[in-house]
Amino acid sequence: MSQKRTDLLRGTLDLLVLKAVSLEPLHGVAISRRITQITQGAFQVSFGSLFPSLHRMEERGWVEGE
């Protein structure tokens, strides 16, 4: 996979995660379910993709974990 495509996929996932948690704090499973819901099933995020994304966003200060 090319670097541009990988960056695009990461950016898309980051935006979906931020959209999912915009109304209320959620745990990982609920974030995954919310993304599936808001995309009407177009995206089903695996935990292997979700948790690295959450970690990356936490390091950047975009989200905060408890």
Residue 39 lies in a domain: yes
Give me the mean pLDDT over the 35-43 stretch. 91
Surface-to-core class of residue 61, CB atoms within 10 Å of its CB (0-12 exposed, 13-18 middle, 19+ buried): exposed
Judge whether residue 52 has pLDDT over 80.
yes
What pLDDT does residue 33 have?
Answer: 95
Residue 66 lies in a domain: no
Range of the domain at 51: 3-59
Report the range of poorest mean pLDDT among 2-11, 13-22, 24-33: 2-11
Q: List the structure tokens of 15.
A: 């935006």
Angle at alpha carbon of residue 49, lines to 7 and 37, rounded to 5°: 100
Residue 65 lies in a domain: no
Structural domain count, the chain: 1
Global confidence as pTM: 0.80
Residue 50 lies in a domain: yes
- 62: closest CA among 25, 29, 14? 14
pLDDT band for 12, please (50, 70, 90 cuts). confident
Q: How many CB atoms lie within 10 A of CB 17?
A: 24
Give me the mean pLDDT over the 21-43 stretch. 92
